[in-house]
Amino acid sequence: MTDTETSDTKTSDTKTNKATGSSDERTGSYGYRKDELRKRLSRIEGQVRGIGRMVEDEKYCVDILTQIAAVRAAVDRVALGVMEDHMKGCMAEAASSDDAAAHLGELMDVLERFVALRR
């Protein structure tokens, strides 16, 4: 999974973290289905490599775009699943804690990214 852990991603994750503790110290609520997530991400990696081969072979533009749309949808499905786990796990736990507001702020920040209001 080193491809997905670029320095860009790590920097931006840490920058927007408003909840207590660094994001490096905290764990996710998706651990119970880590294997499933890794499988889905591996499949996406394979899809992306396939697109690379299509580009190398100079396949038709619309076919490339169709494959890119499929990858985007697959990535969004993974994100939605992680989001659901975060809501049901981390957020539910934080709701009754002192940093509930900070967690909500952090959640709003990441949601803004998903609706492309900012990067």
In angstroms, rounded to a whole number, what is the distance separating the alpha carbons of residues 107 and 3?
25
Which positions from 44 to 83 touch Cu ion by CB under 5 A, shown as an x/- string? ----------------------------------------
State which of positions 8-37 bind Cu ion (CB under 5 A): 29
- Scan for tokens 């852990």, then name that residue: 5
The 3-state secondary structure of 81-112, one letter per residue: HHHHHHHHHHHHHHHCCCCHHHHHHHHHHHHH
Locate 76 and state its tokens. Answer: 């969004």
Q: Least CB distance from residue 63 to Cu ion, whole Å? A: 37
Nearer to Cu ion, 34 or 49 (CB): 34
Instruction: Confirm or reject binding of residue 90 to Cu ion (CB under 5 A).
Output: yes
Cβ-in-10-Å burial (0-12, 13-18, 19+) of 94 comes to buried
In angstroms, rounded to a whole number, what is the distance separating the alpha carbons of residues 51 and 108?
33
Instruction: Confirm or reject binding of residue 107 to Cu ion (CB under 5 A).
Output: no
Q: Least CB distance from residue 103 to Cu ion, whole Å? A: 9
DSSP state of 23: T
Give the count of residues interacting with Cu ion (CB under 5 A): 3
Instruction: Confirm or reject binding of residue 103 to Cu ion (CB under 5 A).
Output: no
Q: Least CB distance from residue 89 to Cu ion, whole Å? A: 6
Q: Which residues bind Cu ion (CB under 5 A)?
A: 29, 86, 90
